Amino acid sequence: MIYPQSNSHRQVKDISGFWDFRFDRKNEGLKKKWFKGLAKTQPLAVPASWNDQLEEGKNNLGPAWYQTRFDLPTGFKDKRVFLRFDSVNFLAEVWLNGIKLGQHEGGHLPFVFEITPKIKAESNLLVVRVEGLLKPDRVPPGNVPFDPKDAFNNTFYPPASFDFFPYCGIQRPVLLYTIPLLPIEDVTLSTKFKSSTGIVKTEIKTENNFKGLIRLTLTGFGQKVVKETRALDRQTTLELKVPQVRLWNPAFPHLYDLKIELLDKNQPIDQVHLTVGIRTIAVKGSKLLLNGKSIQMKGFGRHEDFPVAGRGYLPPVIIRDYDLMRWIGADSFRTTHYPYSDQMMDLADRLGFLVIAETPAVGLFFKQEGLANRQRLCRQYTKKLIERDKNHPSVIAWSLANEPHSHRSAAKSFFKNLIQFARKLDKTRPVTLVSYLGLKEESFADSDLVCVNRYYGWYSEPGRLPEAFERLTKDLDAIFKKFKKPILLTEFGADAIPGCHANPPEMFSEEYQADLLEGYWKILSAKPYVAGAHVWNLCDFKTAQATHRPSGMNYKGVFTRERQPKLAAHRLRKLWKKE
């Protein structure tokens, strides 16, 4: 999927801003045809969650209505015009000038409507109805009836089956954009290298009736490689050979520029630019290999989370989080527990971070009731995540779920199918899921990596770190003995209330958190089959209210929610940062 870009053939306009907004507490908006125009509205910032912008928004999961007006921007005339939402959580229904464009389920991934026939020169009325209600047959699920065989039923309020606040709203930018009548529809890149030559395989999708020329120009590091061919039907594949290749890796995130042009009778009719990082990723025995060399990642799980904006797109916070990870010596993260913004992913390529890209499938359970809908959503998310992020060199694996409650037998076939589905969509990257079951996670037989979350010394062996470390090392050895695949410890950590100190260390103190993380890291870094360790979490984050979440916060961050270091941040930096 090509992110909208502007050049002599394409235009983009961001229509984010202060939109008209109102809640629909009686859920009467559809019946009363609010999509023809809202009354009694107040301004609300787009993009951002609505929950922390308005006092009445706190635990309100909708429905709510947005509206904005826009004129057809210059340069848009006689072009194909599209409307793109980068993320709306959870269900969005969209009308333009009173006509329904459609609806979309699921946050954190983009959706697009072609609006060419419905757009007017002036004063187009865009209305969006959004609700983020928690339902057992949704993904992520909520309001799940208690069943000892299933989900951990954290007594959260709002009743989420996952540990982060269920923020709602139009949470990322909304874009108007054009593409030519005969466009470059999509591009899929895959890279490898042979000794000092890089190889970039480029699959270009065009419209059936485009029979002109496709020209590729790859430039970078003193190289310029040009190749062109007549377009085949819908898909044309070209391979570029790059001499003296500069490989992409965290230390040297070398990126090339790839210009793709379509020419009809020698006249350019479309063009897009992509950045290309040439690297390989593979699993071989117990090793995860980047460019043929085994790696041991160090990093974090994190959340797109910040005061007031909630889960809203905040460029300065993205920069700050990368700066924190660079400062502490991290080289990787998992997009827990949902795909992050397009811009965050572009920066991972540019700054050199390895990313395990995860779908929004957290809190899955496998009771038959509602399972078909949960499966449908998981397939939709897997497909759209891979379509969106397949060209990022930083993305080195796909995680199809976090902590599914896989006790029931239906889980095994559910994931076998989903893993096969993902592999069909992308043959170049390892596919995995993240489990808390460890040895009992039967789906690790089908995944390429073993990703486990472990909280010994926190949820078990509380206050007893030596026992916790002992149990950790035994557990990891047993898991490796059974599955013989690289293991990523995708979560480990402890809550530390900022400013809480204790000597000797005790739970919730910064000292205890720092000691736990140091002890885990010393064990993990010494295990040859451990391909990575991700601390939970980079920063403290908002979650739902519960007796185990003081003021609705998860304090496992090594930085505070305002991005200031705790003792653990300094301790990890000593362990990780190579000066």
Residues serving a catalytic function are: 403, 491
Using rule CB under 6 A, residue 402 touches ligand GCU = yes
> Residue number with the shortest CB distance to ligand GCU?
163
CA distances from 422 to 188, 228, 445, 447 (A): 15, 31, 16, 11
Q: How far is the CB of 550 from ligand GCU (least distance, A)?
A: 13
Applying CB under 6 A, does 554 fall inside the site for ligand GCU? yes
Q: Closest distance between ligand GCU and the C-beta of residue 398, in Å?
A: 17
Q: 456 vs 536, which CB is nearer to ligand GCU?
A: 536
**By C-alpha distance, which of 120, 63, 65, 111 is closest to 87?**
111
Phi, psi (5° rounding) for residue 443? -70, -10
435 binds ligand GCU (CB under 6 A): no
- Taking the least distance from each CB to ligand GCU, the nearer of 79 and 337 is 337
- Judged by CB under 6 A, the chain residues 555 through 574 that form the site for ligand GCU are 556
Residues 483-522 that bind ligand GCU (CB under 6 A): 491
Q: Are 367 and 342 in contact (CB under 8 A)?
A: no
Q: CA-CA distance, 359 to 382, in Å (whole number)?
A: 6
Neighbours of 254 (CB within 10 A): 18
Shortest CB 554 distance to ligand GCU, Å: 5
Comparing CB distances to ligand GCU, the nearer of 163 and 305 is 163
Of the residues 403, 448, 511, 515, which one makes contact with ligand GCU according to CB under 6 A = 403
Would you count residue 441 as binding ligand GCU (CB under 6 A)? no
Give residue 164's identity as a one-letter amino acid code. F
The yes or no reply on residue 304 touching ligand GCU (CB under 6 A) is no
Total interface residues for ligand GCU by CB under 6 A:
9
Binding mask 152-171 for ligand GCU (x = CB under 6 A): -----------x--------
Cα separation, 332 vs 354, in Å, equals 4
Rounded to whole angstroms, the Cα distance separating 139 from 376 reads 9
Q: Are 330 and 298 in contact (CB under 8 A)?
A: yes
Query: How many angstroms separate the CA atoms of 230 and 243, rounded?
Result: 25
453 binding ligand GCU? (CB under 6 A): yes
Q: How far is the CB of 282 from ligand GCU (least distance, A)?
A: 27
Strands 80-85 and 111-114: antiparallel
| Nearest Cα residue to 83 out of 33, 126, 22, 131 | 126
Residue with token string 């993305």: 395
Residue type, 19: W
Contact call for residue 305 and ligand GCU (CB under 6 A): no
Q: Are 98 and 125 in contact (CB under 8 A)?
A: yes
Nearer to ligand GCU, 126 or 362 (CB): 362
Nearest approach, Cβ of 78 to ligand GCU (angstroms)? 49
Compute the least distance from the CB of residue 354 to ligand GCU, in Å.
19
Binding of residue 536 to ligand GCU (CB under 6 A): yes
> Tokens standing for 391?
């060209």
Q: Cβ closer to ligand GCU: 104 or 337?
A: 337
Cβ 194 to ligand GCU shortest distance, Å: 40
Nearer to ligand GCU, 150 or 491 (CB): 491
CA distance 380 to 376: 6
d(CA 281, CA 259) in angstroms, rounded, equals 24
Nearer to ligand GCU, 4 or 557 (CB): 557
* Residue matched to tokens 């009719």: 269
Q: Which residues bind ligand GCU (CB under 6 A)?
A: 163, 337, 402-403, 453, 491, 536, 554, 556
